[in-house]
Amino acid sequence: MAESRGRAIIGSPFLFEVAAFVTNPVLAPGNRAPAFTLPTDSGEKVRLTEHRGRWVVLFFLPLALTPSCCLEAKEFQKQADDFMNLGAVVVGVSPSNHVRHSEFREKNKLSFPMLHDRDAKLAIRYGVYRERTTNVRDYLGIVRTTVLIDPAGKVAHLWDNLRVKGHVGRVYARLEAELKS
């Protein structure tokens, strides 16, 4: 089941409001994960289909180099080898440009790819580009989300509009549980 908090606006070609406290308005466990081909900070292309047969931990960040995004990326990096030992690949996505991603990867010493979703097209397809609310304003942007994709390319679990603290441990525990079932 997806985990969520807060109000959301679906990010699709046709924006419309959905009720408070909804889960991701586009994806659900069991759905086929939308395919993608996106560039990394070095210009290489990464395709979801290249990872068919492996688990994929795909996490969306609102903006590289912000404190929360750095914390989340560092937490994924701390457990990157653990994920790899379970047969999973970790991939980050944000709308930040390749220069910012390069700085982000260097600053946080990341071994996994950070993909550049310049126009948020992938974020829209994954339902993570929608209304965000702060104390100051409401705006459209990336909602912090992680999608666990199984070896067949289907969504096994998703964490939507998540809190960073303890999140990576929950993703790892879920992957372990999926492998045991």
- Which residues are part of the catalytic machinery? 69
Give bridge partners of residue 47 from the DSSP assignment. Answer: 37
The H or E element containing residue 7 is none
What does the block give as tokens for 9? 């606006």
Rounded to 5°, the CA angle 91-75-158 comes to: 55
Chain position carrying tokens 């440009």: 97
Give the type of residue at 29: P
Q: Do the beta carbons of residue 94 and residue 72 sit within 8 Å? A: no
Please count the CA atoms within 13 angstroms of the CA of 71 that sit on its side-chain side: 9
Q: Which ranges in 61-97 belong to alpha helices (H)?
A: 67-78, 80-85
